[in-house]
């Protein structure tokens, strides 16, 4: 009987949130389409050229991948400000391994693992030492950036200048190569990751536990969810995806910059929030984050194409982020009122 009531409750909650999510996604998606059409007209069609659309997809790839991990963490009601530093860390570890002759596959694996370890540290500081996520990851933002600088000895780690030119071109392909002469390879990785992360979030018990913790952590704990393990895993995933974004950045240039990813955590958070993830936890989706990242990317590229001044662009993008969050707050208060 107990089981019965719980499952009924779940259904109800799920139904509500999925309905509002559809509206939210529809809105973000609508904004995306509107912006695309607007820029298409203003740029006299340049924006809508296939070549440019593919460019936009390549441009948003690192932010979107970063956003996936952040979406997981944000849904638990946490945050990860260190994600940008982990972008640098994962990239430089991978590049360092390449220069040490570890081979492509192993180097990438070590880079991603390094990211996962940073996530583990974040998770442990937050769950075991009970430091609030904002402060904990603010601290690790500095710590991981420092580690990145240490690994690179303050300089970029250049893969480009390695003697093994075949390795260099393979590495560059991962970050900037194209399939069928048109489709950017990193974008393919991003889409595959989106599907995997989306399924984990929407279809697995782990995913549902993330929402439960974000909606009401105490209730989740009382209903028998292992909050510690679930949160820890969310941060580990966030670290791993941040490192992946970093490896792609390093691969595109065949060089890992020790300042790579500075400020990217905010891009990732912005993408998630515009896509309907709530910074208060309990809501969000991977599809939304992809759309959010696309909105940011379309804005930047479109404003460049119609030659809007660089400083005016910053004001516009800032305004859009505020509008996104304002809409989210409005929707929530309405929901609570009902």
Query: Which residues contact another protein by CB under 8 A?
Result: 43, 46, 49, 51-52, 55, 59, 62, 128-130, 142, 145, 149, 152-156, 158, 160-161, 176, 249, 252-255, 257-260, 262-263, 300-301, 304-307, 310-311
Nearer to another protein, 216 or 259 (CB): 259
Nearer to another protein, 230 or 255 (CB): 255
Place of tokens 């009924």: 8
C-alpha 247/C-alpha 88 separation (Å) is 8
Beta carbon of residue 319, minimum distance to another protein (angstroms, whole number): 19
Nearer to another protein, 51 or 218 (CB): 51
Q: Which of 59, 51, 53 is nearest to 245 (CA)?
A: 59
Beta carbon of residue 145, minimum distance to another protein (angstroms, whole number): 6
Beta carbon of residue 271, minimum distance to another protein (angstroms, whole number): 15
Using only C-alpha atoms, the chain has a radius of gyration, in whole angstroms, of 20
Helix runs in the chain, H state only: 2-42, 50-75, 83-99, 104-127, 133-152, 165-176, 185-203, 205-215, 217-222, 227-253, 264-274, 286-305, 310-337
- Hey, which residues does 179 pair with through a beta bridge? 183
- Other residues' Cβ atoms within 10 Å of the Cβ of residue 116: 21
Beta carbon of residue 128, minimum distance to another protein (angstroms, whole number): 8
Nearer to another protein, 4 or 181 (CB): 181
Beta carbon of residue 332, minimum distance to another protein (angstroms, whole number): 33
Nearer to another protein, 46 or 331 (CB): 46
- Hey, which residues does 183 pair with through a beta bridge? 179
C-alpha 269/C-alpha 252 separation (Å) is 23
Tokens encoding 3: 């089981």
C-alpha 50/C-alpha 41 separation (Å) is 15
Beta carbon of residue 253, minimum distance to another protein (angstroms, whole number): 5
Nearer to another protein, 222 or 307 (CB): 307
């Amino acid at each position: 009987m107990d089981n019965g009531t719980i499952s009924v409750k779940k259904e109800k909650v799920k139904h509500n949130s999925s309905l509002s999510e559809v509206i939210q996604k529809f809105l973000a998606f609508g904004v995306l389409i509107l912006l695309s059409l607007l820029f298409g007209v203003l740029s006299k069609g340049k924006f809508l050229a296939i070549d440019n659309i593919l460019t936009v997809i390549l441009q948003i790839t690192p932010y979107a991948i970063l956003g996936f991990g952040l979406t997981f963490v944000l849904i638990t009601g946490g945050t990860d400000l260190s994600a940008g530093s982990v972008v640098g860390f994962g990239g430089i570890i991978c590049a360092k391994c390449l220069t040490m002759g570890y081979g492509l596959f192993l180097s990438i694996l070590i880079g991603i693992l390094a990211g996962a370890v940073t996530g583990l540290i974040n998770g442990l500081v937050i769950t075991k030492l009970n430091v609030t996520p904002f402060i904990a990851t603010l601290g690790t933002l500095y710590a991981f950036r420092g580690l990145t600088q240490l690994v690179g000895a303050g300089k970029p780690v250049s893969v480009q200048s390695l003697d093994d030119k075949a390795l260099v071109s393979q590495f560059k392909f991962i970050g900037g190569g194209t399939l069928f002469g048109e489709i950017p390879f990193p974008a393919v990785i991003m889409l595959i990751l989106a599907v995997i992360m989306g399924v984990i979030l929407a279809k697995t018990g782990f995913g549902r536990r993330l929402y439960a913790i974000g909606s009401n952590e105490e209730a989740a704990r009382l209903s028998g969810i292992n909050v510690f393990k679930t949160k820890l895993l969310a941060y580990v995933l966030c670290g791993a995806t941040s490192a992946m974004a970093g490896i792609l950045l390093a691969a595109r240039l065949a060089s890992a910059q020790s300042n790579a990813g500075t400020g990217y955590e905010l891009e990732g958070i912005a993408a998630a929030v515009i896509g309907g993830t709530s910074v208060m936890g309990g809501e969000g989706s991977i599809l939304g984050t992809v759309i959010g990242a696309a909105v940011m990317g379309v804005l930047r590229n479109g404003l460049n194409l119609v030659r809007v001044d660089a400083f005016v662009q910053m004001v516009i993008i800032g305004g859009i982020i505020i509008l996104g969050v304002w809409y989210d707050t409005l929707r929530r208060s309405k929901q609570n009122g009902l």
